[in-house]
Amino acid sequence: MTSSSSRRPSGPAHAKRPASRSGSRSGSRPGSRPGSPRGTESQQAVHLAPDSLGFALDQAAYAVGAVRAGSALPAALSSVFAALPADFTPMARGAVQDIAYRTMRRLGIVDYLIKQRISKAPPAHVTNLLACALALLVDDEAHAAYTPFTVVDQAVRAIGARRESAFAKGLVNAVLRGFLRERESALAAAQADEVARWNYPQWWIDAIRRAWPDQWQTILETGNTHGPLTLRVNERRTNAADYVQRLAAENIAATQIGEYAVRLASPLPVDRIPGFMAGDVSVQDAGAQLAATALDVRDGMRVLDACAAPGGKSGHLLELADIDLIALESDAVRASRIGENFARLGFAEHNADDAPARIGRVVIGDAGVPDAWFDGQPFDRILADVPCSASGIVRRHPDIRWLRRANDIAALAQEQRRIVDALWGLLKPGGELLYVTCSIFPEEGEAQARWFESTHADAVRLDAPGQLLPAGREADASTDLGTSASPVPDRTADHDGFFYARFQKR
């Protein structure tokens, strides 16, 4: 940023965004300002340099407003960035993104602090800019991205740069300076409010506490941390141990944390990761990497990856065996990302005369309505990575907790049953289906596995990793809850939350 007294934050680690699934909200209308009260005001506030903290706060506030209105944060940020001037630098873009993600992780406490200091809610943009500024101020000095003076000064400049909000300069200044004067007592008082303390909606806190009475606090705390950048090594080209040495030769610190998993000590843009563009590695959480190995694919098998976007698990399956794979996705835009991943890995479909042994074919269709796309040839293996709450990956996608509603879980559970019921009929006798969610709610995990086993007489439940709760680098053994003897990530693997259940057709 332009102020010499500030320290520039790094953007959040590259992370895979979950599919747009049942229960999620749509993005902003085309042509509207996300989160804008009117949707018609100009994108750029006057008198704010694009590389200033004030500009970053202003733009992050619009993204936060869009999330409050129901948009996913990546979509909100994309809308913000699309309307920015051509000279908006990657560094400035990273600042906007960093502030927006910080605010999502601290939304409970910053909203609490605002309500304690303002009796009548100001216009939405004023509230959201205050939220973004407070999200930078609640961190202690050791973790602060900017000095308090810089945050207050730039927040006041930002709110004064728009005609429609300039009246609130005094209010913003008073709220932020008042918080700084009472910082310790204000933060201490906030601990008595569970939403402010944990930064989750109350229903979410209650659900986690009921489901995991011994681990609920650790789960919530882990969800407020930053997920690492974990790579999956393409074993067709190299192995994890050799790749770690390759990184070391380029002065990039990394650790092998699984058979194919390598965790970088510090996140890097994908274009700076050695071998990424050539398909030597992919970005994939250590817990997500268990899907392909649990499915136990072998050469010559016909495999379906249902709900496949963005194609990470499909790519891993193709790396492990010479298979004929169909990657199914209902959303055409998201399906295009699967094709891009296949092309980078070298698994895109070719002409018949030069087709490789391993191909990935992308098909657009609803997994729950096979008649519209199924060609009648049954599958040896089916990966059912079904739509879910994404409650296991909130540290990478902190907006999810604020987008979900308590009644979404029951609706998602019904959608999951609709899909796996339809997919089961496509499986060969002796074939296997792997049910996967990136959820930590039992209604989307173990309860579904038991329902499926009880309602399908020809289904035999096999070993699988079971429920994996989110685990940080310092996780103890209680954090991983595998329901079988199958291998789970290393205790220090730093993985997200997933559920796995595997069934064989008699």
Q: What is the pTM of this model?
A: 0.87
Amino acid at 91: M
Is residue 209 a part of any domain in this protein? no
Is residue 390 a part of any domain in this protein? yes
Kindly give, in sequence order, each residue whose CB lies less than 8 Å from that of residue 175, ignoring residues fewer than 6 positions away: 114, 117, 118, 130
301 and 194 within one domain: no
Is residue 210 a part of any domain in this protein? no
Q: How far apart are CA 311 and CA 336, in angstroms?
A: 10
474 and 327 within one domain: yes
Kindly give, in sequence order, each residue whose CB lies less than 8 Å from that of residue 189, ignoring residues fewer than 6 positions away: 116
Strand 230-233 relative to strand 459-468, pairing: unpaired
361: left (phi over 0), alpha (psi -120 to 50) or beta: beta
| Domain carrying residue 127 | 53-198
For the chain, the first-to-last Cα distance in angstroms comes to 63
180 and 305 within one domain: no
450 and 333 within one domain: yes
CATH at residue 366 = 3.40.50.150
181 and 81 within one domain: yes
β partners of residue 504 = 432, 460
Is residue 58 a part of any domain in this protein? yes
412 and 299 within one domain: yes
Is residue 239 a part of any domain in this protein? no
Q: Which of 139, 174, 198 is the last residue of a domain?
A: 198
Kindly give, in sequence order, each residue whose CB lies less than 8 Å from that of residue 157, ignoring residues fewer than 6 positions away: 47, 48, 52, 54
192 and 310 within one domain: no
Instruction: Report CA-CA distances (Å) from 324 to 358, 364, 378.
Output: 6, 17, 12
Query: Do the beta carbons of residue 314 and residue 325 sit within 8 Å?
Result: yes
How many C-beta atoms surround the C-beta of residue 100 within 10 A? 31
From 132, 307, 388, 438, active-site residue? 438
296 and 190 within one domain: no
How many C-beta atoms surround the C-beta of residue 312 within 10 A? 24
Instruction: Report CA-CA distances (Å) from 364 to 198, 324, 332, 436.
Output: 40, 17, 6, 20
Q: pLDDT (tens digit, 0 to 9) for every residue of the chain, 506 residues total?
A: 444 333 333 333 333 444 433 333 333 333 334 444 334 344 455 578 888 999 999 999 999 999 999 999 999 999 999 988 777 888 899 999 999 999 999 999 999 999 999 999 999 999 999 999 999 999 887 788 899 999 999 999 999 999 999 999 999 999 999 999 999 999 999 999 999 999 999 999 999 999 999 999 999 999 999 999 999 999 999 999 999 999 999 999 999 999 999 999 999 999 999 999 999 999 999 999 999 999 999 999 999 999 999 999 999 999 999 999 999 999 999 999 999 999 999 997 643 444 445 678 999 999 999 999 999 999 999 999 999 999 999 999 999 999 999 999 999 999 999 999 999 999 999 999 999 999 999 999 999 999 999 999 999 999 999 999 998 764 433 333 333 333 344 444 689 999 999 999 99
Q: How far apart are CA 200 and CA 307, in angstroms?
A: 28
Q: Residue 83: exposed, middle, or buried by beta-carbon count in 10 A (0-12, 13-18, 19+)? A: middle
DSSP line for 258-287: SSSEEEESS---GGGSTTTTTTSEEE--TT
Q: Which of 179, 198, 217 is the last residue of a domain?
A: 198
β partners of residue 359 = 324
Query: Do the beta carbons of residue 257 and residue 238 sit within 8 Å?
Result: no
Report the candidate in 40, 227, 42, 57 with the shortest Cα–Cα distance to residue 155: 57
Strand 230-233 relative to strand 261-264, pairing: antiparallel
Q: Which of 166, 198, 230 is the last residue of a domain?
A: 198
CATH at residue 74 = 1.10.940.10
Annotated active-site residue 388? The verdict is: no
376 and 500 within one domain: yes
Is residue 325 a part of any domain in this protein? yes
431 and 323 within one domain: yes
Is residue 255 a part of any domain in this protein? no
Question: Total domain count for the chain?
Answer: 2
302 and 179 within one domain: no
* Buried-state track 187-198, b at ≥16 Cβ within 10 A, e below 16: beebeebbbbbb
Is residue 389 a part of any domain in this protein? yes
DSSP line for 188-244: HHHTTSHHHHH-S-HHHHHHHHHH-TTTHHHHHHHHTSPPP-EEEE-TTT--HHHHH
At residue 142, the pLDDT reads 76
